[in-house]
Amino acid sequence: MRILVVEDEHRIASSLKKGLEQEHYVVDVAYDGQTGFDMASEGVFDLLILDLMLPGKDGLTLVKELRAQSIHSPILILTAKGQTQDKVIGLNAGADDYLVKPFSFEELLARVRALSRRPPTVSPETITVSNLTLNQKTFEVRRDDQVINLSKKEFTLLLFLMEHQGKILSKDQIISHVWDYDADVLLNTVEVYIRALRRKIDLPFKQLIPLIKTVRGFGYKIEE
Ligand code: CA
């Protein structure tokens, strides 16, 4: 799951990025409104966190213009104390939730989790494909009741595949949701990570059907 943080205060922006990355989110940061707008318009982010007071283009304008461009990702706005009337305007303009600064990281995380909640058929904490389970809160992955240790990136990739189980995902789609802009990713990198995941979740379970499938010329999918 990929998040864009638009925040001009570098200290806040970098602590949000660090904290969210620890929770296995993929995070990019923009420090002004125009850059934030350009990045968000690409439509690759699953969630946007916008500060209201921004140089270039303010947060409210961003919300309005992104919604007008049919960018439907959930938006969490950050407001300073005393800007409470802005939060109402923000929600009316199409934001989904707001937080008043200063806020605790736990509070932010709770909002982020609530906004990114999966469809009701899937419980928000655990995603399952056959006998493979992934817990988004504890980061535990199990197959056939055996705990599987994954690297951070392998976990993010597996989560992305499992959230879209049954659907074919192209390498480009995988790259744009699993890696941030700073990462130097080649199409080949996706293959390397898919291979690493297979070695951990499919190959050790020879008596079971492999879950990660290659669809030649299109990409990958995970399904029973
Ligand atoms: Ca600001």
* Structure confidence at residue 181 (pLDDT): 81
- 51 Cα: distance to centroid of ligand 1 (angstroms): 6
Rounded distance from Cα 175 to ligand 1 centre (Å): 30
Give distance in angstroms: CA of 218 to centre of ligand 1: 42
Q: Give pLDDT, residue 39.
A: 96
pLDDT value at residue 117? 67
Which pTM does this prediction carry?
0.73
What contacts 24+ positions apart, CB below 8 Å, involve 137-142? 139/24, 141/201
**Distance, CA 99 to ligand 1 centroid (Å)?**
13
Compute the distance from residue 87 Cα to the ligand 1 centre, in Å: 14
Distance between Cα 183 and ligand 1 center (Å): 26
CA 50 to ligand 1 centroid distance, Å: 9
Ligand 1 center from residue 88 Cα (angstroms): 18
Gap between the Cα atoms of 36 and 28, Å rounded: 10
Distance 11 CA to ligand 1 centre (A): 11
Q: What pLDDT is attached to residue 120?
A: 42
Please compute, for residue 107, the number of CA atoms within 13 A of its CA located in the half-sphere on the CB side: 10
| Pairing mode of beta strands 219-222, 212-215 | antiparallel
Q: What is the pLDDT of residue 121?
A: 40
Nearest to 93 by CA among 56, 42, 47, 58: 58
pLDDT at 66: 95
Measured CA distances, 11 to 18, 28, 70 (Å): 11, 14, 31
Find the 49 Cα to ligand 1 centroid distance in Å.
Answer: 12
Q: Which long-range contacts (CB under 8 A, 24 or more apart) does 83-90 make?
A: 83/52, 83/53, 86/52, 86/60, 89/60, 90/52, 90/59, 90/60, 90/63
Cα 7 to ligand 1 centre (Å): 6
**Measured in angstroms, how far is the CA atom of residue 116 from the centroid of ligand 1?**
24
- Collect the ranges in the chain with pLDDT lower than 70: 81, 117-124
| Cα-to-centroid distance, 12 and ligand 1 (Å) | 9
User: What is the rounded (10 degree) CA torsion for 79, 124, 181, 20?
Assistant: 50
Backbone angles phi, psi at 68, to 5 degrees: -65, -25
Ligand 1 centre from 174 Cα, in Å?
32
Q: What is the pLDDT of residue 124?
A: 62
Amino acid (1-letter code) at residue 78: L
